[in-house]
Amino acid sequence: MEFEFATASRVIFGNGSLTNLGKLVAELGKRALLVGGASIERIVPAYELITAHGLPAFIYQMSGEPTLEIVRRGVELARQNECDVVVAIGGGSAIDAGKAIAAMTKNAGDILDYLEVIGQGKALEQAGLPFIAIPTTAGTGSEVTRNAVIASSEHGVKASLRSHWMYPRVALVDPELTYALPANHTAACGMDALTQLIEPFTCNRPSPIADALCEAGIRLAVRYLRTAYIDGKNSEAREAMSLVGLYGGIALANARLGAVHGFAAPIGGIRSAPHGAVCARLLPVVVECNVKALRQREPANQSLERYRQVARLCTGDERAEAEALASWLYNLREDLDIPSIASYGFGRDEFSDLVDKASQASSMKGNPIQLTHAEMEWILTQAWCTPFLKSTNER
C-alpha cells in the first residue's frame, strides 16, 4: 500500500470562529487582499475584523465562477497594492479565485502557462501568498484542496490550476456562516459534498485515510442533509454539513474523483450552470451506470464492493446491494428538487461534444471503470430531464 496525505496547514472549525480572522491575518501578513462574491454583506464582517487589527484590506468582489480574466485582474490588484496575504470568503467560486490569485501573484507568467487540459500544465515554481479560506457554503471543500477550478469561455470548459503549493495556510470553517444559505443552495452544495465523499471512496485509486473520512461524512450527510434543507437555522444540521463539506474536500484532494466531476467540468464551462447543482443531478445517474458497467465487464473490481458499502451506509439496510445506492440517491435528488441539465439551456445536439470534452477531463481518470461513448451519452440523457422511475424502467 502506497499513499500520500496532505491538507491545509491549519483547520479551525466551530461556531463563531470567524472572530479569529483579524489575528490570523496579522500572523501571516500586513496587507490583505479580500476576495468575495456578489454579496457585499458577506464580505463586510471579514473586512471589519481585518481592519480592526490595524491592517489595510483591499476588497476584490467577483460574480459567478472564477474565470481566467477574474484571476488576472485579482493578481493585478494584489500586486498594485503590495498585498502579502490573500483571504477569500464565500462559496467554492470565491475560494478558488482567491487560491488562484494567491498562487499566481508569486509565480511568473500567465495562468494559462500552469492550467491543466487547456493550458501548458507547467508546475508552479514557488509557493504563492499565504492564503486563508473561509467557506460560507457546505459543499465544495475548496478550503482544504490544492486546486482551483477556472472557467475559460474561449475553450468552453473548466480546468484546474493544481499544485501542492496551493493548500491554504488556514481553513477557517464557521458553520454559522451557512445559516443564511437558501434551501436550493443548501441542497446543491450538500449533494456536491456527498458526491465528493462517494467518488473518492469508489474511485480507482482510493486512500485509506480518505476512506475513513468518506465513511464518517456519508453517515453525517444521510442523517443531516434533509434537515439542513428543510430548516436552515438548525445549528446541529448546519454544523454537521459543514463537516461533510470539509471531509469531502480532504477526500478529493487525497484520492480521485470520477465521472460526475468529469462531466461537471465541460457542462459548467459551456453554460453558467452551478457546479453543485450539476453534480447533484448527475450523481445518481453516474452511480447507476457505473454499477451496471462494473457488473457486466469487471465484476471483480473492488469498486463494486465499495458501492455496496456506500449503499448500506445510505439505506441503513445491511443486505443492500450496490444497485440500491442509485435508487436512494434518485429519491434524495427528487426530495431536494434538483433541477435538470436541460434547465440550463442544453440541447441533445450538444451531448456528443460534452462527451468528448468530459473524456479529456482529469476527474474522469478516477472513474472506477472506463465508460463507453454510448454510456456517457446515456448519462447525459438521463440527467438532462428524465425522472428516476422512467429512467430505471427504460434502462
DSSP assignment, residue 175?
G
Mind listing the pLDDT tens digit for each residue in 273-304? 889 999 999 999 999 999 999 999 999 999 99
Write the burial class of residue 100 (CB in 10 Å: 0-12 exposed, 13-18 middle, 19+ buried). Answer: buried
Q: How far is CA 264 from the centre of its chain?
A: 10
CATH of the domain at 133: 3.40.50.1970
Say if residue 249 is in the same domain as residue 287. yes
The CB density around residue 345, as the number of other CB atoms within 10 Å, is: 11
Q: Is residue 1 part of a domain?
A: no
Which domain-ending residue is among 143, 178, 213?
178
CA dist 105 and 97 (Å) reads: 12
Q: Are residues 52 and 197 in the same domain?
A: no
Say what the pLDDT of residue 159 is.
Answer: 86
147 and 228 inside one domain: no
Question: Are 268 and 299 part of one and the same domain?
Answer: yes
For residues 240 and 253, state if they share a domain.
Answer: yes
Alpha helix locations (H) across the chain? 21-28, 40-51, 68-80, 92-105, 183-202, 208-230, 235-254, 259-270, 275-297, 302-315, 323-335, 351-360, 373-384, 388-394
**Which domain does 15 fall in, by range?**
11-178
The β-bridge partners of 33 are 58, 86
Give the integer Cα–Cα distance in Å for 200 and 358: 18
> Look-up: residue for cell 481566467?
68
Looking at the structure of the chain, the number of domains it has is 2
Q: What is the pLDDT of residue 385?
A: 75
pLDDT averaged over 10-residue windows placed end to end, the chain, 395 residues: 91 98 98 95 96 97 93 98 98 96 97 91 96 96 96 83 97 97 96 98 97 98 98 97 98 97 90 90 98 98 98 98 98 95 89 93 95 96 66 36
- Identify whether residues 97 and 212 lie together within a single domain: no
Q: Are residues 239 and 311 in the same domain?
A: yes
Helices 183-202 and 302-315 meet at what angle, rounded to 10?
A: 140
pLDDT tens string 92-132: 999 999 999 999 999 999 999 999 888 999 999 999 999 99
Q: Are 322 and 304 in contact (CB under 8 A)?
A: yes
Structure confidence at residue 32 (pLDDT): 98
